[in-house]
Structure 1
Amino acid sequence: MTRPGTAARDAGLQPERTRLAWRRTTLACSVTAVLALRQALHGSGSPVEVTGAAVIALVWTAFLWVAHRRIRQLAAARPAGLAPGAAVGAAACAVALAVFATAVIV
């Protein structure tokens, strides 16, 4: 007889839904980064604008790396949980892109 907390967990379609959510988030992040880059480079091409565009591209690349790694992990039969460092990294990238987008608009 097994205790209630020790039974094997049937993940069902939850990993697939999570993988699709990561893909949607990556797409939204990509669109935001492209629009921010376009806005940053649309100006005079000053060093500040070019530096801002480079930082936006770097943050976007970091988010893509975290998301791609997580999507690959979710393809396993029994995916592991998201590591705390990866969660903090993804959240930091999302917040940084939001701040840059706000700075570009203002």
Structure 2
Amino acid sequence: MRADRRPRGGGAAGGGVRGDEGTVRDPAAQPERTRMAWRRTTLAFAAVVALLARGTVHDGGPPRQYALAALGALVWLVFLALAHRRIGALDVPRPGPLGTRTAYAAAVCTLAVPISGMVVWLW
């Protein structure tokens, strides 16, 4: 029995695509990996915002720290909406590329939370 479990025959069976080395790859694997990456990033983002909020509440800082923690939570919600939108776009047979506006918005959200965390820490 063959160890690599590739289908027998000349072509790619089961809708697979031949890769560079002649191996059969699953075209649905890339969208699934992308979907899982968006979910992982959203979860990590939530942990950072939770730590930001915990530090603010635990230290009992001035109202501006609470405002920055609330801003971090709002930015996380925007990122969550972007991630949910992208995950939904991956449910088609051939998903399109990530839009430029979505990419910029995700980058701004990703940079806004650490910056607000640094501002809270420095105050």
TM range (shorter): 0.7 to 0.9
For 1:68 and 1:12, locate their aligned partners in 2 and report how far apart those are by CA, in whole Å.
18
Cα drift, residue 49 of structure 1: 1.8
- The 5-angstrom pairing of residues 1-106 of structure 1 reads 11-44=27-60, 46-106=62-122
Cα drift, residue 21 of structure 1: 0.7
Q: Is this contact kept in 2: 1:41–1:53, CA < 8 A?
A: no
Please, what is the CA RMSD of the aligned residues?
Answer: 1.5
Runs of 5+ consecutive residues of structure 1 not aligned to the other structure = 1-9
Q: Is this contact kept in 1: 2:75–2:109, CA < 8 A?
A: yes
Larger Rg: 2
TM-score by length of structure 2 reads 0.72
Runs of 5+ consecutive residues of structure 2 not aligned to the other structure = 1-16, 18-26
More helix by share: 1
For 2:80 and 2:62, locate their aligned partners in 1 and report how far apart those are by CA, in whole Å.
27
Letter in 2 for 1:34: A
For 1:50 and 1:101, locate their aligned partners in 2 and report how far apart those are by CA, in whole Å.
11
Deviations 1:8-51 (A, max 9, x none): xx534111111111111111101001101111222335321221
- Tell me the SS of whatever aligns to 1:42: helix
Following TM superposition, the consecutive aligned residue runs of length 4 or more in structure 1 with deviations greater than 6 angstroms are none
TM-score by length of structure 1 reads 0.82
Q: How many residues align?
A: 97
Letter in 1 for 2:103: A
Deviations 1:27-77 (A, max 9, x none): 110100110111122233532122112211111111111011111111222
